[in-house]
């Protein structure tokens, strides 16, 4: 039997055709597919603007830059996320502060974030980076209010949640990254995420000003608009210190073709989640699934006591689970620079137990049943596992 991974991309013939067509077109990069992908993505998410980048890490970097984050300034994020959510703060010399997670949703705790902010003088923090962990949307309306009270910006790390939504206080569905609450949101098109580009990312915003800044910083800080002088058709200006964080047209063609299938993928992910929930309900703890939210289910995380043994046992049975994530403050780099000392006991406790099960649209029913069977088999052998 082929190993069962925890996640994988789904590439079909129309994806291949789209890429091949672009390969033989006039533009491999800086061509029309980029804008087409950006417009389609913005429309899908419901944001005014979208900027394609070479990966989400670059997107996070551009996001903190466009918020004007500077050396020594402080930003709050969650300890349970991929390193890049915190690293972007370090890219500009900022300080990463962590607030604990909610022990049921595994999301950055709103209360703990508020406590941390209120324990410091006004102006101490500049922004918050909440993460739609595992695909479960953060209530960004709540965070926006808090951010406004304290003059903070908000960057939503929506890498796990394209197409997910929460329901706001008016009963309206708010898709992750739609720009109604966060200043910016960032998505990833790494193959293990929902939409595969090989490598790729997207930044969304409703602010024209931020949009223009992102476009400029993505491409060396060079512009042909709003120039201070004009010396002719060839002339351009490098107005800021930017980067080459561009996506290629080859990747954008793949992204466009993948985007069309995202809703179907989300449906399938939710079907898989329901099967896990039915099997585990009342027996094994899994991420809380509030019924007013639509979870994009990048991951399906459960908690067990003897996690390492279960990980090994499943691996022996060709089931390759993963751990999401090693808490940020326990990574050697962050240990070395010294994270700010807040109580992160929920995150630490979660990390000792969490394990991400196979979750991807092409996971066959029999394979999922095999996974469930092996989990129960393990727990029966290890009676203390529950």
Ligand X SMILES: *Cc1c(COP(=O)(O)O)cnc(C)c1O
Residue closer to ligand X by CB (options 106, 313) is 106
Considering only 19, 34, 37, 57, the residue that binds ligand X (CB under 6 A) is: 57
* Contact call for residue 159 and ligand X (CB under 6 A): yes
* Cβ at position 81, least distance to ligand X in Å: 5
Query: Hey, what are 132's tokens?
Result: 């739609």
Region from 157-165, 172-180, 326-334, 359-367 binding ligand X, contact rule CB under 6 A? 157-165
Residue 224 CB contacts under 8 Å (≥ 6 apart), including other chains: 235, 236, 237
Q: Please report how close the Cβ of residue 151 comes to ligand X at its closest, in angstroms.
A: 25
Answer for which of 42, 56, 99, 354 binds ligand X (CB under 6 A) is 56
Closest CB to ligand X among residues 56, 99: 56
Q: Phi and psi at residue 282, in whole multiples of 5°? A: 80, -5
Which position among 201, 242, 255, 265 is part of the footprint of ligand X (CB under 6 A)?
Answer: 201
- Closer to ligand X at the Cβ: 97 or 245? 245
CA distance 125 to 339: 15
Q: Whole-angstrom Cα distance, residue 63 to residue 202?
A: 11
Q: Give the nearest distance from C-beta 58 to ligand X in angstroms.
A: 7
Nearer to ligand X, 86 or 314 (CB): 86
Q: Min. distance of Cβ 298 from ligand X in angstroms?
A: 7
Separation of alpha carbons 91 and 97, rounded Å: 15
What SS3 state is found at 158? Answer: coil
Give yes or no for a contact between 203 and 47, defined as CB atoms under 8 angstroms apart: no
By CB under 6 A, is residue 131 in contact with ligand X?
A: yes
Matching residue, tokens 């390969």: 23
d(CA 229, CA 362): 55
Given the rule CB under 6 A, which of 51-59, 61-69, 91-99, 138-146 is the region that contacts ligand X?
A: 51-59
Cβ proximity to ligand X: between 85 and 105 the closer is 85
Cis omega (within 30 of 0) for bond into 147? no
Nearest to 359 by CA among 310, 306, 280, 300: 300
Instruction: List the interface residues with ligand X, window 62-121 (CB under 6 A).
Output: 81-82, 84-85
Comparison of 181 and 313: residue with beta carbon closer to ligand X: 181
| C-beta closer to ligand X: residue 218 or 374 | 218
Residue nearest to ligand X (CB): 56
Q: Name the E strands within the chain.
A: 49-53, 74-77, 95-98, 125-129, 153-157, 165-167, 173-175, 184-188, 201-205, 222-223, 237-238, 285-286, 300-303, 354-357
Q: What does the binding site for ligand X look like in residue numbers (CB under 6 A)?
A: 55-57, 81-82, 84-85, 131, 157, 159-160, 188, 190, 201
């Amino acid at each position: 039997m082929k190993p069962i991974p925890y996640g994988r991309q789904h590439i079909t013939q129309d994806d291949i055709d789209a890429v091949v067509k672009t390969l033989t077109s006039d533009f491999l990069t800086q061509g029309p597919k980029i804008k087409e992908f950006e417009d389609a993505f913005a429309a899908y998410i419901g944001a005014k603007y979208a900027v394609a980048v070479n990966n989400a890490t670059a997107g996070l970097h551009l996001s903190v830059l466009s918020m004007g984050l500077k050396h020594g300034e402080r930003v709050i994020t969650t300890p349970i996320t991929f390193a890049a959510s915190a690293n972007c703060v370090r890219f500009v010399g900022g300080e990463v502060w962590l607030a604990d997670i909610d022990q049921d949703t595994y999301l950055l705790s709103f209360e703990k974030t508020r406590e941390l902010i209120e324990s410091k003088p006004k102006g101490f923090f500049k922004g918050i980076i909440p993460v739609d962990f595992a695909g479960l949307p953060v209530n960004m309306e709540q965070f926006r209010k808090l951010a406004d009270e304290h003059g903070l910006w908000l960057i939503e790390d929506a890498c796990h949640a394209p197409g997910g939504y929460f329901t706001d206080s008016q009963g309206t569905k708010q898709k992750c990254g739609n720009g109604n609450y966060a200043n910016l949101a960032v998505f990833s098109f790494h193959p293990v995420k929902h939409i595969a580009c090989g490598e790729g990312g997207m930044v969304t915003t409703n602010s024209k000003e931020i949009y223009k800044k992102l476009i400029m910083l993505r491409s060396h800080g060079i512009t042909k608009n709003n120039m201070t002088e004009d010396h002719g058709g060839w002339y351009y200006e490098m107005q800021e210190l930017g980067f080459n964080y561009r996506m290629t047209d080859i990747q954008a063609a793949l992204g466009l073709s993948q985007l069309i299938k995202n809703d179907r993928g989300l449906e399938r992910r939710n079907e898989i989640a329901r099967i896990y929930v039915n099997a585990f309900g009342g027996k094994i703890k899994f991420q809380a699934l509030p019924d007013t939210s639509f979870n994009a289910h990048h991951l399906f995380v459960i908690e067990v006591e003897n996690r390492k043994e279960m990980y090994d046992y499943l691996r022996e049975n060709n089931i390759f689970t993963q751990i999401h994530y090693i808490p940020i403050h326990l990574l050697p780099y962050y240990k070395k620079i010294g994270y700010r000392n807040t109580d992160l006991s929920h995150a630490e406790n979660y990390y000792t137990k969490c394990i991400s099960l196979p979750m991807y649209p092409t996971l066959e029913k029999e394979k999922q049943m095999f996974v469930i069977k092996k989990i129960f088999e393990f727990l029966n052998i290890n009676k203390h596992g529950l």
